Structure 1
Amino acid sequence: MRISELAGASGLPVATIKFYLREGLLQPGRSTSATQATYDDAHVRRLRVIRALTGPVGLSVQQARTILELIDDPGDDLYQTLGSAVSALPPAVDAASVDDPDPYPRARAALAALGQVYDPRFAAVAQLEAALAATEAAGMPLGEPRLLEYGRHLRQLAEFDLEQMPPEPHAAVEYTVLGTALYEPVLLALRRLAHQDVAAQRTLGADEA
């Protein structure tokens, strides 16, 4: 298909597609002349992924490029690749000083309480530290009962996600990296909607009483 047809299939303007091509987010099409190229269904899917990352997920072009580069060239270590993807996702946090012997004490204690591995090199550890520090600063620290309850349910979600992971290495990386980026906003929205539903049900129950 030509770029105009690619625009129709993806729902994006031609100017936006050309911008993604210039920025290296979208692979070039197959050249048919000095000024024209053809595209296929892989380009349509790629554009939909880009639109999701830069739209609902809220990534910048640079962050989306990092995620897509990890999918295109994941390397041999899925754990390291996932860590690189997490570091590209919001919230952005500053890395701890290499001279600090205990850079993330809150995160370390929380993961110990949950019985989970603590690896200060993993970007989410720094993100957890910053989040826990923010709850303390606001006067609403995350107590152990809430931590354990959150952790229990999130562990179940993680186990379910990994059970669905494709066996082929490249597909596994794409599934893990994109799943991390695309599903987290869904989890956040579902939590907010669950709060709304529980509150509505309690209000209805109080009215009936």
Structure 2
Amino acid sequence: MTQPSANPIPGRSVGILLAGGLSRRYGSAKAFAEYEGRSFHERGHEALSGACDLVIVSASEALAPDFPAAYEVCADLPQLAGLGPLAGLASVMQRYPAERYIVLPCDMPRIGPQEIRRLRAAAEDGPAADIAALRSPEAGDLPLLSVWRGGLADLLEKRVLSGHLGVMKLLAELDTLWVDAALIHADPAIFHNFNVPPDAG
């Protein structure tokens, strides 16, 4: 594994709901879209809450005030603002040290508490790694539905500031455990991420 860059809090697990900002392809902020009568952010927050000590919503500063007051929302650090999911992860990790981070993109509203608990268990039961992410023949690689160990904040920030924003490239360079998605759920459709509204087309 790579060397830690910050001091994690032993035993602490933080869920990171990647809510981002406005989506060009989606046409609006995905976090506030609905799936089967409930918002994406509500579903994601609930899924993470069942397996984490604390859930942080990573969102743009412009969207942060629109989330429920009960949510803990973290906007990107000023130097990282608007630079993608790695910037969001780095910003949360800098502000909320933890032993592990369970990451869920908000545009995967079919993922529930059971899937997050299974993901966490797979990461904890498998060989030690920097990141545990899902892979399946049907759904492909799912790098942002994943578990990250603590201590990577500085590394992520340096990568983003140097213009290296790709998630898959980072996972290829770090010690990544690829978990068979079928262990998390047998139906690959549950891992679908909505890049257009659910009722479109």
Relative to the length of structure 1, the TM-score reads 0.28
Q: Higher relative CO (CA 8 A, sep ≥ 6), structure 1 or 2?
A: 2
Larger radius of gyration: 1
Pick the structure with more helix per residue. Answer: 1
Relative to the length of structure 2, the TM-score reads 0.29
